[in-house]
Chain A
Amino acid sequence: MADELGRFRVLNAKPVNLDGFSVPDAELGLVAMSSPYDPSPSLVVASTADGGKEIVELDGKPASEFDVIDEFIARYGIDLAVADEAMGLDDVTLARMAVDVNVPRAEVVRLIGGTTPAKLARVVALMSPVEMQMAMAKMRARRTPSNQAHVTNQLDDPLLIAADAASAVAYGFREVETTVPVLGDAPSNAVALLIGSQVGSPGAMAQCSIEEALELRLGLRGLTSYAETISIYGTEQVFVDGDDTPFSKAILTSAYASRGLKMRVTSGGGAEVLMGAAEKCSILYLESRCVSLARALGSQGVQNGGIDGVGVVASVPEGMKELLAENLMVMMRDLESCAGNDNLISESDIRRSAHTLPVLLAGADFIFSGFGSIPRYDNAFALSNFNSDDMDDFLVLQRDWGADGGLRTVTEEYLAAVRRRAATAVQAVYRDLGLADYDDARVEEVVAANGSRDLPAGHPKMVAEAAASIEARQLTVFDVIASLQRTGFTEEAEAITTLTRERLRGDQLQTSAIFDHQFQVLSKLTDPNDYTGPATGYTPTERRRAEIDGIRQARTSAELTADQAEHRGHVVVTDVEAARQGSDPREVCIGLSPAWGRSVWLTLCGLTIGEVLRQISAGLEEEGCVARTVRVRSTIDVGLIGLTAARLSGSGIGIGLQGKGTALIHRRDLAPLANLELFSVAPLLTAKKYRELGRNAARHAKGMAPVPIFTGGTDESISARYHARAVALVALERRACEPGQPPVTVKVENP
């Protein structure tokens, strides 16, 4: 398009325009918060022959028409003792109660227990996003937020899985989740993840997400400690297409608990639309059915709010709001919220941050149900919304907002140490159990690797054969423990033993449970959310605050000015006399700031102060003017320094120059803040620009028209890049400042 407007040329190339956006279409279920086909909330309860009660109508549907989802919710999901009261309250009242800090969490939980799916969907749909966050702060089950990581790679390399699992727990993740590009590799991935996840900081739970039956089998052998990809859906068609029913899922839920495996179900809006069977209902209503069903199943938690269907949800108006509402509904039904964010919602960094930030700020049991702790390309689930190359961004976001997202800074040395130990442990166990023989060079390659693309592919069948051997011999967690012990990895052997023992107590089966690094269970029961308004609820301990604040990039003023010392003394400034009024009409005074050549030696653009002065003086000389340097001691303000210099100058023109390189041209009759030309963005200046400044000052002195100096502008965030350093340099100026002291003419020489 030849006639394309410049603005559109740029906009069209922006990443956000790679995203798909749909016009809402209720017929396809492509609507976020409500559809005209969503049922109206209703609940009719009748007495049974044996004196009990049963639901005979649910959200407009009589019992004879119940599908399997209605059937299960009606049977198990609704607290009939409060149903009349809860269904009788109007939607606004319930929504306000959820948001109001003066209404206790327990009261909201009690009432929501009596609501139908359609009712809860209508209640949350009334809230603004900020109200949802308020409600989340109160309604999330566990007090202390946590986080979960994806740990996968394209090669299913067990050493790399172990190293990445150890890295993930070093960063603070308390659940780590793997899956496979190649199904047969799953047992190997599970073993490697289990070992790696206990290196350095024990107690993180591990899962291997694969087909339901196979996943359960790994769990039964103790090779995993939790499961979450027990998928449920909001329509019967999609549920059955997924080869399950609520009844089979209920047995699966209990089967996991019977072996001490923590589990939660996965739902997440958009799946039904993707499968073409949304029954014309809104994404929110179908998700509300899922959450009701999760509660009915006896699942302690739900993963939703940005799972595989996230692109569908984000394509329609209010999609992101709907995703947040999914998390909130889980919390209101008193379940563990593993808050999604585990699928890349957009090609736009702005949109993907916008998706995650509200959850980070409000808090959730797990901020991500899979932060991609590995590179994007290595994620065998799907790209997560944040990935390993976003780690620093996430850590900085925690610090920016004082919000605990569960993660912490890790030094390069520590990361290398745990990666090496994890890879070495897996190498040793695989050799000891006769599964595979990885050489020492491979260990070192894995330690150093960012991801599998940094590794030679290795023998293509090596992992498959190791996995097949684990299966053929039906190795259990006890074989892994014994092998770790035999090969000298006693800490890891002990950690996995403790994990196995503790899980048999069952405390980690309760809602929102995680183990801390001392195997204490933090759950809804042991660490209940006690938020009741400002100055209540979770606040990081001092130690945790220090972890959040202590990012590796933070520098003290001393560190930021350490490079000044390298240039100390490259010019020598000597006082000549108290500065007097000049009389030479060609004289231009250059006013030097208090710290110039005393404690500041290097400007923000990287030129030494001596070089800057040399260029300005040369510019003056080229135009036939004479420079005189004067030290202005009483102020650090570059405008006043310039004005002082101008008033002393024979020509009435002066230059103000700070140590950090900020410079301007002043004239004796102007107000202090007015000036003739200002170089305010010191980091962008060059030797050439300083010379041009000198020339222009001379032209002003001679009464000639100056030549405009164009900087060309910049795309850089000057303030973000340089202000920390500028503040440190200004502090040096302030320290050198001598209020009330008159200016001094100085000589500046090279030693």
Chain B
Amino acid sequence: MSGKDITEITVGNAIDGKLGLSDLRMDPAALAHQAVLAEQGGNPQLAENFLRAAELAVIDDEQVMALYEALRPYRSTATDLEELRASLLTKGAPRCAALVEQAAIAYARRGLLR
């Protein structure tokens, strides 16, 4: 996390090379706020998505890509998914970890593990 404030996203800072990839990640607090709005608006699933997103917002691009890749069909063994789940927990991503855990059960039943 760069920790930059939104107001620092300016043309001047872009010219000065002060902005980078990490500045394109959402602030988890902003996503948590959007989750509250979504829940109030009657869409708890959208809220859940924003909360998962808040977890991913502090994870760098390559690891996010790797997480997606691991959940595609026939990519991971049960052990791979268990390790992934555990590592997500240590990264403070319990919702994503739960999703991986649920996937592992479903993939085992449906033959979608590697």
Contacts and interface: CB of A to CB of B under 8 A. Distances in A.
Contacts of A66: 106, 109
B72 A497 contact: no
B14 interface: yes
Interface residues of B, number: 58
B53 to A, nearest CB: 4
* Residues of A contacting B: mostly: helix
Given A506-B26, A506-B34, A295 B99 contact: no
B112 A251 contact: no
A222 B24 contact: yes
A142 B11 CA distance: 32
Given A251-B67, A257-B53, A297-B49, A497 B11 contact: yes
Given A240-B112, A485-B14, A501 B99 contact: no
Given A68-B110, A247-B106, A250-B52, A510 B24 contact: no
B49 A299 contact: yes
Given A250-B52, A298-B46, A511-B46, A260 B72 contact: no
* Residues of B contacting A: mostly: helix
A216 B63 CA distance: 13
A268 B37 CA distance: 29
B48 A245 contact: no
A255 B34 contact: no
A213 B103 contact: no
A459 interface: no
A257 B31 contact: yes
B50 to A, nearest CB: 6
A235 interface: no
A232 interface: no
Chain A interface size, under 10 / 10 to 19 / 20 to 34 / 35 or more = 35 or more
Most chain A CB neighbours (cut-off 10 Å) among B11, B17, B56, B96: B11
A259 B53 CA distance: 8
B32 to A, nearest CB: 10
B53 A254 contact: yes
Given A247-B99, A507-B34, A259 B25 contact: yes
A525 B41 contact: yes
A562 to B, nearest CB: 49
A156 to B, nearest CB: 25
Interface stretch (A124-132, A368-376, A476-484, A548-556): A476-484
Contact of A247 (B17, B23, B69, B103): B103
A365 interface: no
Given A220-B21, A476-B24, A251 B110 contact: no
Contact of A254 (B19, B21, B42, B52): B52
B37 A525 contact: yes
A298 B103 contact: no
Nearest to B74: A240
A500 B8 CA distance: 11
Contacts of B44: 79
Nearest to A106: B42
A334 B42 contact: yes
Contacts of A247: 71, 99-100, 102-103, 106-107
10 contacts: A68-B110, A216-B65, A248-B71, A252-B68, A254-B49, A258-B53, A481-B14, A485-B15, A504-B24, A511-B46
Given A247-B103, A257-B26, A298-B48, 7 more contacts: A79-B44, A217-B65, A247-B99, A259-B24, A298-B45, A481-B14, A497-B14
Interface of B: 6-7, 9-11, 14-15, 17, 19-21, 23-27, 30-31, 33-34, 37-38, 41-50, 52-57, 59, 61, 64-65, 67-69, 71-73, 96, 99-100, 102-103, 106-107, 109-110, 112
Interface of A: 66-68, 71-72, 75-77, 79, 106, 109-110, 113, 212-213, 216-217, 220-222, 236, 240, 243-245, 247-248, 250-260, 295-300, 334, 476-479, 481-482, 485-486, 490, 493-494, 497, 500-501, 504-507, 509-511, 524-525
